[in-house]
Amino acid sequence: MPSVFIKTYGCQMNERDSEAVAAQLVAKGYTLAKSEASADVVLLNTCSVRDLAEQKAINKMKNLVGTARSEKRDQIVGFMGCMAQSRGQELIDKLPDVDLVLGTQKFHRAAEYLDELLAGTRKKIVDTATEAKSEATIREHLLNGSAKTSVSAFVSIMQGCNQHCTFCIVPATRGEERSRTIPDIVAECRELVARGVREITLLGQIVTSFGKRDYPLLDGKSAFVQLLDAVHAIEGLERIRFTSPHPKGYGDDLVAAYARLPKLCESAHIPLQSGSDRLLKLMHRGYTREKFLGIIQKLRQAKPNIGIYTDIIVGFPGETEEDFEQTLSLCREVQFDNAYIFKYSPRRDTPAAMMPDQVPLAIREERNERLLNLVNEIAARKYDAFIGRQVEILVEGPSKKNAARYTGRTRCNRIVLFDGSARHQGQLMDVKIERTGSFTLYGDPAVVNL
Q: Please, what is the minimum distance in Å from the beta carbon of residue 408 to ligand F3S?
A: 30
Residues 254-293 that bind ligand SAH (CB under 6 A): 271, 273
Among ligand F3S, ligand SAH, none, what binds residue 11 when CB lies within 5 to 8 Å by partner kind? ligand SAH
C-beta separation of 198 from 239 below 8 A = yes
Among ligand F3S, ligand SAH, none, what binds residue 344 when CB lies within 5 to 8 Å by partner kind? ligand SAH
Q: Does 165 bind ligand F3S (CB under 6 A)?
A: yes
Among ligand F3S, ligand SAH, none, what binds residue 163 when CB lies within 5 to 8 Å by partner kind? ligand F3S
Among ligand SAH, ligand F3S, none, what binds residue 171 when CB lies within 5 to 8 Å by partner kind? ligand F3S
Q: Does 272 bind ligand F3S (CB under 6 A)?
A: no
For the purposes of burial, counting CB atoms within 10 Å of the CB of 183, is it exposed (0-12), middle (13-18) or buried (19 or more)?
exposed
Among ligand SAH, ligand F3S, none, what binds residue 315 when CB lies within 5 to 8 Å by partner kind? none
C-beta separation of 216 from 222 below 8 A = no
Q: What is the total count of residues that contact ligand F3S (CB under 6 A)? A: 10
Q: Does 12 bind ligand F3S (CB under 6 A)?
A: no
How far apart are alpha carbons 371 and 376 in whole angstroms?
8
C-beta separation of 415 from 407 below 8 A = yes
Identify the residue among 9, 18, 43, 50 touching ligand SAH (CB under 6 A). Answer: 50
* Cis bond before residue 345 (omega within 30° of 0): no
Tell me the residue ranges of DSSP E strands in 303-450.
307-314, 338-343, 390-398, 405-410, 415-419, 428-437, 440-444
List the one residue out of 127, 37, 22, 26 whose CA is nearest residue 77. Answer: 37
What are all long-range contacts of 423-427, with beta carbons under 8 Å and residues at least 24 apart?
424/395, 425/147, 425/151, 425/395, 425/396, 425/397, 426/150, 426/151, 426/196, 426/198, 426/394, 426/395, 427/394, 427/395
Identify the residue among 167, 210, 250, 309 touching ligand SAH (CB under 6 A). Answer: 167
Q: Please, what is the minimum distance in Å from the beta carbon of residue 325 to ligand F3S?
A: 23
Binding mask 193-212 for ligand F3S (x = CB under 6 A): ------------xx------
Q: Does 426 bind ligand F3S (CB under 6 A)?
A: no
Q: What is the total count of residues that contact ligand SAH (CB under 6 A)? A: 18
Q: Please, what is the minimum distance in Å from the beta carbon of residue 271 to ligand SAH?
A: 4
The piece of 134-142, 328-336, 337-345, 384-392 that touches ligand SAH (CB under 6 A) is: 337-345
How far apart are alpha carbons 31 and 33 in whole angstroms?
6
How far apart are alpha carbons 301 and 296 in whole angstroms?
9
Among ligand F3S, ligand SAH, none, what binds residue 342 when CB lies within 5 to 8 Å by partner kind? ligand SAH
How far apart are alpha carbons 231 and 201 in whole angstroms?
11
- How far are the Cα atoms of 8, 88, 103, 337 from residue 81, in angstroms, in the given order? 9, 10, 5, 30
Q: Please, what is the minimum distance in Å from the beta carbon of residue 276 to ligand F3S?
A: 16
Tell me the residue ranges of DSSP E strands in 336-379.
338-343
Tell me whether strands 415-419 and 440-444 are parallel, antiparallel or unpaired.
parallel
How far apart are alpha carbons 450 and 447 in whole angstroms?
7
Q: Does 164 bind ligand F3S (CB under 6 A)?
A: yes
Q: Please, what is the minimum distance in Å from the beta carbon of residue 302 to ligand F3S?
A: 23
Residues 204-263 that bind ligand SAH (CB under 6 A): 205-206, 244
Name the site residues for ligand SAH (rule: CB under 6 A). 11, 13, 49-50, 167-168, 170, 205-206, 244, 271, 273, 311, 313, 342, 344-345, 347
